């Protein structure tokens, strides 16, 4: 792959890191960009996972240094998230890429719809339905599995789960989410590295760019917040998904054209 393409993907990763720090969902930009660059679905997901893991591990270390990680309650979360992520990566590494060509654009649109309709969450603790321990053994492996198979939006899913199910305020929910997200990413990444499907020049360039973008986004978030970035993220995500569906080799595109010809 040419350095021009790698540079373009790095710019996309920079924008994704910027958006992710403000509104979340940066993977909604990087994954379709990798697919449009010509990577097969498995390599795209694996390469995207490296830059995602770099960001989440960095964020978790930052939270830990500030004393915001509750290791005693979160230790089972780490184990279950890692297992879930690894399981999802094993599945996606072994299935036919044709299925991924069909599923990825559809999942991108579904996650974009979720972001558009996601509730505004408060920072106050609320009445809990389940404990963090139960969440770790039930919900975390499922979300970890999703993260290994696909990934974009999983951080937001974790936050909503911790707030609505465990009754945590936003800051505590975010601290547990960083821990869970990092463990899921590392579990999936470990499998992808063993399988040898990570495209390292692209992965490293995107990880560095995403880190710089996240640093800038964190500063802008204080002033702007997600009001402007979140709608932009949703629109761009849907546009990229439609572009993927319009590729002539996509099975859904072929089926659609055959249906039109039949009519």
The closest alpha carbon to 184, from 83, 58, 74, belongs to: 83
Distance CA 181, CA 59 (A): 10
The closest alpha carbon to 214, from 67, 56, 29, 45, belongs to: 56
Higher pLDDT, 111 or 233: 111
pLDDT tens digits for range 12-57: 998 887 877 666 667 778 888 898 888 988 899 999 999 888 878 8
pLDDT tens digits for range 150-177: 887 787 788 888 888 898 887 788 889 8
Beta carbons within 10 angstroms of residue 139's beta carbon: 21
Q: Which residue has the tokens 């690894």?
A: 86
Q: Where are the alpha helices (DSSP H) in the chain?
A: 3-22, 27-36, 41-65, 71-94, 97-117, 132-149, 154-164, 170-195, 200-221, 226-246, 251-262
Distance CA 12, CA 204 (A): 13
Higher pLDDT, 74 or 263: 74
Beta carbons within 10 angstroms of residue 71's beta carbon: 10
- Residues contacting 242, CB < 8 A, separation 6+: 105
pLDDT tens digits for range 66-105: 788 888 889 999 999 999 999 999 998 887 766 766 777 7
Q: How far is CA 44 from CA 12, 38, 51, 99, 122, in A?
A: 14, 9, 11, 14, 35
Structural contact between residues 215 and 6, judged by C-beta atoms closer than 8 angstroms: no
Which DSSP state fits 209?
Answer: H
Does residue 236 carry a pLDDT above 70? no
Least confident of 50-54, 60-64, 82-86, 186-190: 60-64
What SS3 string covers 81-98? HHHHHHHHHHHHHHCCHH
Least confident of 120-134, 210-224, 243-257: 243-257
Higher pLDDT, 208 or 63: 208
The closest alpha carbon to 183, from 106, 74, 109, belongs to: 74
Mean per-residue pLDDT over the chain, rounded:
80
Tally the C-alpha atoms within 13 A of residue 191's C-alpha that lie toward its C-beta.
Answer: 27
The ranges assigned to domains in the chain are: 3-262
Query: Directed axis angle between helix 27-36 and helix 200-221, to 10°?
Result: 150
Q: Please report the pLDDT score of residue 134 as a whole number.
A: 95
- Residues contacting 115, CB < 8 A, separation 6+: 23, 24, 25, 28, 153, 156, 230, 233, 234, 237
């Amino acid at each position: 792959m040419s350095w021009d393409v790698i540079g373009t993907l790095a710019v996309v990763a920079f924008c994704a890191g910027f958006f992710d720090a403000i509104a979340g969902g940066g993977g909604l930009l990087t994954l379709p960009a990798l697919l449009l660059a010509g990577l097969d679905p498995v390599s795209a997901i694996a390469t995207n996972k490296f830059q995602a893991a770099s960001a989440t591990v960095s964020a978790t270390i930052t939270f830990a240094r500030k004393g915001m990680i509750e290791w005693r309650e979160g230790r089972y979360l780490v184990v279950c998230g890692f297992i879930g992520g690894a399981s999802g990566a094993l599945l996606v590494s072994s299935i036919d890429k044709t299925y991924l060509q069909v599923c990825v654009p559809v999942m991108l649109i579904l996650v974009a719809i979720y972001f558009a309709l996601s509730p505004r969450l408060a920072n106050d603790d609320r009445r809990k339905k389940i404990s963090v321990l139960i969440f770790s053994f039930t919900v975390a492996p499922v979300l970890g599995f999703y993260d290994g198979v696909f990934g974009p939006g999983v951080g937001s899913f974790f936050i909503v789960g911790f707030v609505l199910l465990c009754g945590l305020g936003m800051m505590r929910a975010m601290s547990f989410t960083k821990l869970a997200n990092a463990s899921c990413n590392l579990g999936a990444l470990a499998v992808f590295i063993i399988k040898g499907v990570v495209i390292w020049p692209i992965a490293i360039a995107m990880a560095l760019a995403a880190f710089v973008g996240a640093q800038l986004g964190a500063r802008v978030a204080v002033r702007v917040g997600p009001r402007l970035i979140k709608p932009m993220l949703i629109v761009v995500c849907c546009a990229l998904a439609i572009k993927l569906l319009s590729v002539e080799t996509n099975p859904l595109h072929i089926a659609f054209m055959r249906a039109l010809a039949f009519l």
